[in-house]
Amino acid sequence: MWLWIVDFQRDIYSALAEHIKAFALGSGWTTLIAFLPMGIVFGAVHALTPGHSKAILATYLTGSSTKLTRALMTAVVLSFTHVSMSVVIVLLSLPLVTIMFGSGGPGSSPILENVSRALLGLIGVWMICRSLGRGGHRHSDKSDIAFGMVAGLIPCPLTLFVMTFASVRGVPEAGLMFAVVMMIGVAMTLASVALTATLFRSAVANLISRWPQLFVVVPRTIEALCGLILVTVAILQFGTG
């Protein structure tokens, strides 16, 4: 499965590179636009690879009280931020690329990675504190949106490659269009993660509702554990970054 994903990505990227080259040489929009739907498949498959905050998204949604529609919204915000950060970095010129990427090589962004880790750690602390608070609590749309933006703060390496490849050839608009459709594919994969996590949490909630005394304790315990996981992940990633 993993080898298939790697081979598929390589084939699509090679085909995309040829289409961008042809577009830069004046082939017109028709051929490029006809190829764009492959970007959706490309993004969906690419999001299956390690990274893209899938585990972090699932952890957050499992430990929160986010409803299905907001969970899907969180996945979309995460996808948009993840891809758009790459677009912005490339369009803001090479000096910013040098500052943000340092010497970590392509696809590495030390500053953004550390900021994202720190903010995710803070979200984990917030979840722990909230689970220990007395009485019920309301879960706001703003917290879900904030999480999606924080988790997606690290730019997508593949989008960086595509945008850079297109920009070097003087057709950044081609890279931008492909980034948009690829974002749709990434959002589809992350939305499936959000759906699974939300349904799992609902199933657990329905199960424990048979024992009223556990209905308050268990959700708070799950939220505290998920918050602890986020804090631990942030600390461990700081140690390896």
Give pLDDT tens digits for 30-74: 888 888 888 898 889 888 877 667 888 888 888 777 888 999 999
pTM over 0.85: no
- Residue 119: closest CA among 154, 88, 90: 154
Residue 220 CB neighbours (<10 A): 15
Residue type, 177: M
For residue 43 the two structure tokens come to 């993004």
Give pLDDT tens digits for 131-151: 676 554 555 667 888 888 888
Cα–Cα distance between 183 and 83 in angstroms, integer? 6
Please check whether residue 8 is in contact with residue 48, taking contact to mean a CB–CB distance below 8 angstroms. no
Better pLDDT: 213 or 176: 176
Q: Show the 3-state SS of 9-36.
A: HHHHHHHHHHHHHHHHCCCCHHHHHHHC
Q: Where are the domains of the chain?
A: 2-240
Residue type, 58: A
On the 0-12 / 13-18 / 19+ scale of CB atoms within 10 A, 236 is exposed
Give the chain's radius of gyration (CA, Å). Answer: 20
Residue 237 CA: distances (Å) to CA of 43, 107, 117: 25, 16, 7
